[in-house]
Amino acid sequence: MSWDREQSRMLAVASISLLLSILVWFNYSAVLPLIVEEWDLSGINAGIIFGAFQAGYLIAILPAGVFVDRYSPRWIIAIGATTTGVASLGFAILATGFLSGTALRFVAGLGMAGVYVPGMRFVADWYAETARGTAMGIYIGTFSLGSGLSFLISSVVASALDWRIAIATTSVGALVVAPLILIVGRDAPNTIQRTATGLDLTVLRNRSYLAAVSVYSWHNWELFGVRNWLIAFLLVVPAITATRQPALVAGTLAGVMIALGGLGNVIGGTLSDRVGRVRIISLALLVSGLISATIGAFQWLPLIALTALVLCYGVALTMDSAPTSTLITELVADEHVGAALSVQSFIGFSTTVISPVVFGWALDTGGYALAFPTLAAGAFLALLSAALLRYTRKDKLGSAAPLQES
């Protein structure tokens, strides 16, 4: 694998843009216990506020796919990041309860639709398929790194000052994205002419594509349920409540765990270039699903053992993400990659609206021992979808070649 300097620079620009924007996605989850206490939220209402961000993302992601196949991804990213940053700052300054908080998080989600998937299209334009898994692993890994940093920064600032200041601190970076991507970034020199005039849904006739989207959807069910509720779970674990600063310890552990997801993406993407996308996807889902099924019953673990388990969890949860998204770009014609990624994201993130709410219902009903297995169910369904990938045939540019493992 050989990358030239310009490819590396554009990957860095895309990844930094994503990192600064993703700080917004999970700053609410990082200070969730403080908001629940101040606003007197139930588990379901707390899950709905998180789900509102996902709902905004879903509503905007299909139009973003149309635009990114027609126009330069850089402009879509700039507009999206600015919208996300402004709305998140509004949450920090103006939100006073369930309704206002839900509305502002919804708008922030609308903006995020212009960042993540258009960035994937931007990276895919710069890299050939032989190196794309690694490049996408680095880019998507930035999602996890930014998520982890959001938890770390928000937890530290909230513990020292206030949750509103924590959210504001993790929102301002998104406002830097527009000048970065527009001034420093540039489109790939061999990018196909963008002539798409609407959302092309012919990808839905591709069985392998649909199976990959199903994998992604149930992967997100598990991943986002964990990320939204992890700190709340850690704060009831005896080994953490026994420390001098439980909130800071929980936030730090959650932040490091989620940041390690970046490593999981890079490992998964790189290995999938060498041994096959589907093999790595299946291995990651098996490990993460087993941990999701059992971690709620492991509250008695000592701090060292709990830390080791949580950190392994962070890597396993994301190892399938980059191989799945890379596979999406390989299963469709180049001129429809933006549409394919946006449809994938629309369907895939629809589960993230529901998963935190189902988790909250299970938590209210039977505690964490019942709640976490609802996430394991997602990993199990993703595994079934990955098995289906082995028996389908890809249909790229009208061909019907067997689905390859690499």
Residue 190 DSSP code: T
Round to whole Å and give the CA distance between 380 and 386: 10
pLDDT computed for residue 348 by the predictor: 83
Residue 406 has pLDDT above 50, yes or no: no
Mean per-residue pLDDT, 126-140: 77
Alpha carbon of residue 220 to chain centroid: 7
Q: Put residue 367 in one of left, alpha, beta given phi > 0 → left and psi -120 to 50 → alpha.
A: left
Q: Residue 385 has what pLDDT?
A: 92
pLDDT, tens digit, 9 for 90 and up, residues 363-384: 888 889 999 999 999 999 999 9
Q: What is the C-alpha to C-alpha distance for residues 229 and 249, in angstroms, rounded to an integer? A: 15
Element (H, E) at 271: helix 246-275
Instruction: Report d(CA 54, CA 345) in Å as an integer.
Output: 11
403 confidence band (pLDDT: 50, 70, 90): very low
- pLDDT band with cut points at 50, 70 and 90 for residue 1: very low
Q: What does the alpha-carbon distance between residue 242 and residue 263 come to, in Å, rounded to a whole number?
A: 30
Rounded distance between C-alpha atoms, residue 49 and residue 57, angstroms: 13
User: For 388, phi and psi rounded to 5 degrees?
Assistant: -65, -35
Mean pLDDT calculated for residue range 20-31: 89
With a pLDDT cut of 70, the percent of the chain lying above it is: 91
Q: How many CB atoms sit inside 10 A of residue 182's CB? A: 14
Task: Tell me: pLDDT of 114 over 50.
Answer: yes
- Residue 259 three-state SS: helix
How far is residue 82's CA from residue 76's CA, in Å, rounded to a whole number? 10
- Kindly state the average pLDDT of the residues 42-67: 83
Burial of 184 (0-12, 13-18, 19+ CB in 10 A): middle
Record the pTM. 0.74
Mean pLDDT of the chain: 84
d(CA 109, CA 52): 7
Q: Is the pLDDT of residue 34 over 80?
A: yes
User: pLDDT digits over 208-251, tens only?
Assistant: 888 889 999 999 999 988 987 888 899 999 999 999 888 888 88
pLDDT at 199: 60
What is the residue whose two structure tokens read 């330069």? 72
CA distance 296 to 368: 5
Helices (H), 127-245: 129-160, 163-169, 177-179, 207-234, 238-241
pLDDT over 70 at 264, yes or no: yes
Give the integer Cα–Cα distance in Å for 283 and 280: 5
CA-derived radius of gyration, the chain: 20
| Statement: residue 401 has pLDDT above 50 | no
Q: What's the pLDDT band for 196 if we cut at 50, 70, 90?
A: low
